Amino acid sequence: MNVRQRKLEMIEAMNRARALEPSSFMPNKLLDTLIQKMHLKNDAELCRVLEVQPPIISKIRHRKLAVGATILLRMHEKSDMSIKELKELSNASMH
């Protein structure tokens, strides 16, 4: 087995392990609540309101990207929800 194959196997193993890790980051509740409170239809409208590219919201929704400070501030400004509320929604448990 060459070095490239080993590297690929290691990356795949890390990705599998990461997928099994419990995480408190639950972006769907945050994004769905924003859509509901702002009377939007879908993620595309949320992108327009927040002035971000659709892949950003998609990556957040699929837990590939955390909600950064800039997007959190935009969510706060556009929705009039407190930052504390927004952070609690993104860390809410699924139970």
Q: Write the pLDDT tens digit of every residue in 37-70.
A: 999 999 999 999 999 999 999 999 988 888 888 9
Query: What pLDDT is attached to residue 81?
Result: 94
Query: What pLDDT is attached to residue 24?
Result: 62
From the options 3.90.550, 3.40.50, 1.10.260, 1.10.357, give the CATH code of 25-90.
1.10.260
pTM: 0.70
**CA separation for the pair 27, 49 (Å, rounded):** 17
Torsion of CA 8, 11, 16, 20, to 10 degrees: 170
The encoded tokens of residue 28 equal 């769907």
Reported as a single tens digit per residue, the pLDDT across 16-32 is 666 555 556 778 999 99
